[in-house]
Chain A
Amino acid sequence: MKTFLTFMGVIGLVVCIGGSLGWSQDQVILGGVAPLSAPGAAESGAEMKIAMEMAVSEIGQILGKPIKLQVEDTRGLPEEGTAAMNRLADAGAAGVVGEFHSAVANAEIEVANQRKLPLIIAEAWADVITAKHYPYVFRIAPANSLFYTKVSDWVKAIGAQNVVAIVENTDWGLGIDTVFKETLHDQKNIDGDPVQYTSIVAERTVTDFTPQLLRYKSMSPRPDLVMDIFTGTGEYLIVKQTGELGLAPNRETLVFAVGTSALYPEYWETVGKYGVFSITKTGYHPLLGVTPAIKKFNAEFEAKTGKTPTFAAMEAYDSIHVLAQAIEQAGSTASDAIVAALEKIKYDGVLGTIYFSADKKPDYMYHQWPGAKAVIIQYTAEGQKYTDAELLWPAALMP
């Protein structure tokens, strides 16, 4: 009986190992990480996932093998991001793309570095993600410092003197706050007047911002600009409560919804009329140029979902293509070979020709795509699509 059981055990083990090896040799696994449920920005995660699936279906095969896309829900929580990366490494993923929240990406890069798993961050902006100079980490999204210094230029150009902000206490929010403190506070605006920048840091779960908004409302002179440095529900609530209190948007004070959530139809469902004349940013706008690649992607995405994609979807789509091309160029799924290929890559994507910098100065530039763009736009009517919003900055692109 004992011999029989041992024999059956050995047979079972051989079948399992053989099956598992055979499975992984017959396909290439690409990993995806995105917030697909709350408290993460689920609307962004959902469109990133769809874009990844579109890219995989277009590519079809890598190294002559079918692709298996495994997308993990990180829920906007660092611990979930760590667990997701470990699951993907255990599953034998050749590389991972995605992520939206900087705090989660910051946890994920640690796993990428420990487990030698190439990771292309699609849409998380905190400088620290590439500033750690981890060899396995690359980024397509702009770094905070790359873009928000330009927002500071715009604030100075409109002659603002009193800028206030409510900031979520995450790597992303605090990173932007730091950029504004360094490049805006006590700097001279276009009229030669000093700019005063005041910020309040809030926990991400806060839903009532009224006490702090009342404080801003009681300021004399009234603020010229309220920066809403939040994502998801918090971003909507700040715009809504700012409008309800009569603080902004109006002739005296504008509101700038910094997070990506302001680009979705849910923005209008939740903020309603208070979103008219609000300002936001986007990495894609028709005035940046509509290439055939963008046209094709937008048409397919809209046919599939009935929604206009945002740049988060475009970044996720390009990330999969970049990873797939790197594996093809490396001729293997060995992580060091993929990293070497990524360092030399030039891929013509939806958002432009993607390549990664090898510069280590400034810190965030290492393995960063320097060509990542973003523009400032303003809604002029309720329910307006972000692609129809007015372009405010950079002035050179304005029609």
Chain B
Amino acid sequence: MDFFVAQALNGLIIGLLYALIAIGLSLIFSVLKLVNFAHGECCMMGAFVSYYFSTLFGINPLIAVFLSMVVVFLLGVAMQYFFLRPLYTGAVERKDEYAILITFGLGIFFQNLAMSLFGPWTKKSQDFLSGVTSIGFLTVDNNRLVVSFVAIAIVLALLLIINKTFVGKALRAVSQDRDAAAIVGINSHRINMLAFGVGVALAGGAGALIGPIFLISPMMGILPGIKSFVIIVLGGMGSIKGAIIGSLLLGEIESLGSIYLLDPTRGLAYKNAFGVLLLAIVLLVKPTGLFGERHVRME
């Protein structure tokens, strides 16, 4: 039983990290109706920005996380303005194909840019809180505990903004009906920019938070990018609630699955496949994902 609880706790912590990345992707999809294939690279950029803020300027690593979110937010706003805005001004004919190609292209560009700027070497961000916490049979790295609490706080703050503020109402309005939102005076271009900026800032924050735990390198965003895509399809495209539940599910199934489902000596070899397997099963039963809507394409 002790062993099971330890594994479940690890799955919960990993799930919270996934949630932070996946919510951003889901927010972008719900408002802009496109999948940001450069999302993992935004996560990587956040990790590097936070790393250099804390190592070069001696800024407290937790403050560096929030500063990195601001930097990645501005990067996202620029990406949206220069590369994605044409999708909503009628300048692009084949919108889906353009969105896929441009975000893929930006992802590859950021990987190579990071390689040139930061080098290919693995780095570790400063600890948020060094040491471990032991409660009975459980031993948890303090960084993981701090990251879990920060992730929960960020997710709650985001939910509060989306559900209780005017900006949140505007985001939801554009996500539901762009034309109707425009009729009541909402500037959908600004909301697009805001949603994209906030979405990638969440990914950047997640990257900065995982820096002391899973280390950072220019290619670190590839796997989180893929996993967050799996999560938002699993949870239902564009559903924030679905992204949170999907993330926690994936974290648990990876942690428990690699121990209990298969031959444990091969479990880690299939760890990344569990998410896809879970996704396939859910989509067979519920094609729109756990909390997805039927109509989610760009108009």
Q: Which of A200, A214, A233 contacts B267 (CB 8 A)?
A: A200
Interface flag for A250 (CB, 8 Å): no
Q: Which of A166, A205, A241, A269 contacts B223 (CB 8 A)?
A: A205
| Measured CA separation A246–B131 after assembly (Å) | 10
| Measured CA separation A201–B262 after assembly (Å) | 12
In the complex, the answer to whether A270 meets B10 with C-beta atoms within 8 Å is no
A37-B120, A215-B3, A269-B124 known; A237+B214 contact, CB < 8 A? yes
In the complex, the answer to whether A203 meets B10 with C-beta atoms within 8 Å is no
Question: Within 8 Å CB of B256, what residues of A?
Answer: 211
Question: Within 8 Å CB of B7, what residues of A?
Answer: 211, 214
In the complex, the answer to whether B265 meets A210 with C-beta atoms within 8 Å is no
Interface flag for A7 (CB, 8 Å): no
Q: Give the residue name and chain of the B residue nearest to A213 (CB).
A: B10
For the complex, count residues of A whose C-beta is within 8 A of B.
Answer: 39
Question: Within 8 Å CB of A245, what residues of B?
Answer: 132, 139, 141
Residues 196 to 217 of chain A near chain B (Cβ within 8 Å)? 198-203, 205-212, 214-215
In the complex, the answer to whether B259 meets A212 with C-beta atoms within 8 Å is yes
In the complex, the answer to whether A209 meets B124 with C-beta atoms within 8 Å is no
In the complex, the answer to whether B3 meets A43 with C-beta atoms within 8 Å is no
Q: Which of B3, B214, B265, B270 contacts A208 (CB 8 A)?
A: B214
| Measured CA separation A200–B222 after assembly (Å) | 24
In the complex, the answer to whether A206 meets B215 with C-beta atoms within 8 Å is no
Interface flag for A302 (CB, 8 Å): no
Question: Within 8 Å CB of A240, what residues of B?
Answer: 215
Interface flag for A266 (CB, 8 Å): yes
In the complex, the answer to whether A38 meets B264 with C-beta atoms within 8 Å is no
Most buried by A among B2, B124, B214: B124
| Measured CA separation A233–B215 after assembly (Å) | 8
Interface flag for B238 (CB, 8 Å): no
Interface flag for A384 (CB, 8 Å): no
In the complex, the answer to whether A215 meets B259 with C-beta atoms within 8 Å is yes
| Measured CA separation A38–B229 after assembly (Å) | 22
Question: Within 8 Å CB of B119, what residues of A?
Answer: 42
Question: Within 8 Å CB of B219, what residues of A?
Answer: 37-39
Contact with A along B256-289 (1 / 0, CB 8 A): 1011000011111111100000000000000000
Chain A nearest CB, measured from B178 CB (Å): 38
Question: Within 8 Å CB of B10, what residues of A?
Answer: 208, 210-211, 214
Question: Within 8 Å CB of A198, what residues of B?
Answer: 265
Interface flag for B122 (CB, 8 Å): yes
In the complex, the answer to whether A212 meets B258 with C-beta atoms within 8 Å is yes
Question: Within 8 Å CB of A46, what residues of B?
Answer: 120
Q: Which of B139, B217, B266 contacts A201 (CB 8 A)?
A: B266
Give the bracket for the number of chain B residues in contact with chain A.
Answer: 35 or more
Question: Within 8 Å CB of B272, what residues of A?
Answer: 203, 205-206
A38-B120, A215-B259, A270-B123 known; A203+B268 contact, CB < 8 A? yes
In the complex, the answer to whether A212 meets B264 with C-beta atoms within 8 Å is yes
A246-B132, A269-B124 known; A166+B268 contact, CB < 8 A? yes
In the complex, the answer to whether A270 meets B122 with C-beta atoms within 8 Å is yes
Chain B nearest CB, measured from A288 CB (Å): 27
Q: Give the residue name and chain of the A residue nearest to B255 (CB).
A: A211
Chain B nearest CB, measured from A156 CB (Å): 22
In the complex, the answer to whether A211 meets B267 with C-beta atoms within 8 Å is yes
Interface flag for A244 (CB, 8 Å): yes
In the complex, the answer to whether B122 meets A233 with C-beta atoms within 8 Å is yes
A38-B217, A244-B141 known; A206+B115 contact, CB < 8 A? no
Q: Give the residue name and chain of the A residue nearest to B226 (CB).
A: A205
Residues 1 to 31 of chain B near chain A (Cβ within 8 Å)? 2-3, 6-7, 10, 14
Question: Within 8 Å CB of B141, what residues of A?
Answer: 241, 244-245
Interface flag for A232 (CB, 8 Å): yes
Interface flag for B218 (CB, 8 Å): yes
Question: Within 8 Å CB of B218, what residues of A?
Answer: 37-38
Interface flag for B82 (CB, 8 Å): no
Interface flag for A387 (CB, 8 Å): no
Chain B nearest CB, measured from A359 CB (Å): 35
Contact with B along A237-272 (1 / 0, CB 8 A): 100110011100000000000000000001001101
In the complex, the answer to whether B271 meets A203 with C-beta atoms within 8 Å is yes
Q: Which of A209, A232, A241 contacts B122 (CB 8 A)?
A: A232
Residues 219 to 277 of chain B near chain A (Cβ within 8 Å)? 219, 222-223, 254-256, 258-259, 264-272
Chain B nearest CB, measured from A235 CB (Å): 9
Which residues of B line the A interface, CB within 8 A? Answer: 2-3, 6-7, 10, 14, 115, 119-124, 132, 134, 139, 141, 214-215, 217-219, 222-223, 254-256, 258-259, 264-272
29 contacts between A and B (CB under 8 A): A37-B115, A37-B218, A37-B219, A38-B115, A38-B122, A38-B219, A42-B119, A166-B268, A198-B265, A200-B268, A201-B266, A202-B268, A205-B223, A207-B223, A208-B14, A208-B214, A209-B268, A211-B268, A212-B258, A218-B2, A218-B3, A236-B124, A237-B215, A246-B132, A246-B134, A266-B121, A269-B123, A270-B215, A272-B124
Which residues of A line the B interface, CB within 8 A? Answer: 36-39, 42-43, 46, 166, 169, 198-203, 205-212, 214-215, 218, 232-233, 236-237, 240-241, 244-246, 266, 269-270, 272
Q: Given contact pairs A38-B217, A198-B265, A215-B3, enumerate 6 new A-B contacts (beta carbons under 8 Å).
A: A37-B219, A38-B115, A203-B272, A206-B271, A207-B214, A212-B264
